[in-house]
Amino acid sequence: MDQNNYNYTQQNEPGNYNMVPVDQQDPVTFSQWMLTLFFMLIPIVNFVMLIVWITSDETQPSKKNWAKAQLIWMIVSMIIGFTFSFFIRTAILGFLGGLF
């Protein structure tokens, strides 16, 4: 039998005896999310803050996981953007080179 150090509670539905772990951390508050999303609007600060939240031991696990996912999507988007802009630039320069 798997023995974890989790506290469990029953879901509120009658007859449902599935046990779900009780969150050990306080949830991220509305004001914390507002500040987080504000930081994500500022270029370069957003990248730095994601690294800070990922590496900090004081960051709540849900926010840390969100920061990891956000950083991965940011890197993927940058790679796609650079690749797309390279091909568009090459196509435009090839078209313009054929005109002269």
The confidence score (pLDDT) of residue 14 equals: 61
Helices (H), the chain: 30-40, 45-55, 61-99
Element at 9 (helix H, strand E): strand 8-10
Residue 16 in this model has a pLDDT that exceeds 90: no
In the chain, domain spans: 29-99
User: In this predicted model, what pLDDT tens digit does every residue of 70-100 receive, in sequence order?
Assistant: 999 999 999 999 999 999 999 998 888 866 6
Q: What percent of the chain has pLDDT over 90?
A: 64
Residue 96's pLDDT is what? 85
